[in-house]
A = this chain, B = another copy of it.
Amino acid sequence: MARPRKPLLSTGRIVEAARALVDAEGLAALSTRRLAAELGVSGPSLYNHFGTKDELLDALADSVSARVDLSMFEDGRPWRTALDDWARSYRAALARHPHLAPVLARGPGRRPAALRLADAVFGALTEAGWPPAQATSIGAALRWYVVGSALGSFAGGFVPDENAYDPADYPHLGQAHLLAERGGTVDERAFTTGLRALLDGFERQYAELPPRTA
């Protein structure tokens, strides 16, 4: 066939297909050859649009970051409320593509949508009066918490086998096998509880800030 008069591929179409594949079958199913087959082309064709598979993964991750709502930073909402909303929408976006969490965890690097996230959070905090160093810490802590929660379901980390956890070895894990069943609910409640604790804690630190001289 060689070169068609109209390109068969585009970065957008590739990313779209990759996302569908990863969502359906996990990150391990994403091979360049498999993805190419899904797109009806041969393996090496992808290299006309991405330098490496890793660049493709970056673009894929950024397409998820791009879906995180940032509107809560637009009006003059209090920083705590804005961060609360942002953490939830960030988590929701990751929950829609759980297999991509490990890629998102890499950090923003040069990915535009991920950088817009970082910029919005940092900007909101400094404008609320947080010193830059503390704004950085808060952004990092929230990011770690959200990404950590998206990456490993806590409840799903246990096995639903009633006999998996011998009371002689683990005296306090008698009910742990139940976690796997009601996984989603347990994780949701834990996320909310932890987020509230984090924000309560930051609010306390905010109250101890020296008065603004601006």
Establish whether residues B145 and A147, one from each chain, have CB atoms under 8 Å apart when the complex forms.
no
Q: Which residues of B lie under 8 Å from residue A149 when comparing CB positions?
A: 140, 144, 148
Q: A interface, how many residues as a size bin?
A: 35 or more
Measured between beta carbons, the chain B residues less than 8 angstroms from A143 are 148, 152, 154
A172 at the binding interface (Cβ < 8 Å) = yes
For A173, give the chain B residue with the smallest CB separation: B119
A108 & B193 in contact (Cβ 8 Å cutoff): no
A141-B145, A154-B107, A158-B109 are contacts. A200–B204 as well, Cβ < 8 Å? yes
Tell me if A156 is interfacial: C-beta within 8 Å of chain B: yes
How many Å lie between the Cα of A196 and that of B102 in the bound state?
Answer: 26
Interface 9-residue window, one of A1-9, A15-23, A41-49, A128-136: A128-136
Kindly identify which residue among B108, B134, B152, B173 contacts A107, using a CB–CB cutoff of 8 Å: B152
Tell whether, in the assembled complex, residue B140 and residue A154 are in contact, meaning their CB atoms are under 8 Å apart: yes
Given contacts A141-B194, A152-B144, contact A172 B122 (CB under 8 A): yes
> What's the Cα separation between A134 and B197 when bound, in Å?
12
Once the chains are docked, how many angstroms separate the CA of A142 from the CA of B109?
A: 26
Report chain B residues within 8 Å CB of A171: 119, 123
In the complex the two chains form, what is the Cα distance from A32 to B161 in whole Å? 30
Q: Which residue of B lies closest to A202 (CB)?
A: B197
Closest beta carbon of chain B to A167's beta carbon, Å: 10
| A residues in contact (CB < 8 Å) with B | 102, 105-110, 112, 115-116, 118-119, 122-123, 126, 132-134, 136-149, 151-159, 164-165, 169-173, 175-176, 179, 186-187, 189-191, 193-194, 196-202, 204-205
Nearest 9 interchain pairs by C-beta: A107-B157, A197-B201, A141-B194, A148-B148, A144-B148, A140-B154, A140-B190, A200-B201, A123-B172
A-B contact pairs, 19 of them (CB 8 A): A105-B148, A106-B152, A109-B159, A115-B173, A119-B171, A136-B154, A136-B190, A137-B194, A138-B194, A141-B190, A144-B145, A144-B190, A145-B194, A147-B152, A197-B199, A197-B201, A197-B204, A199-B201, A200-B204
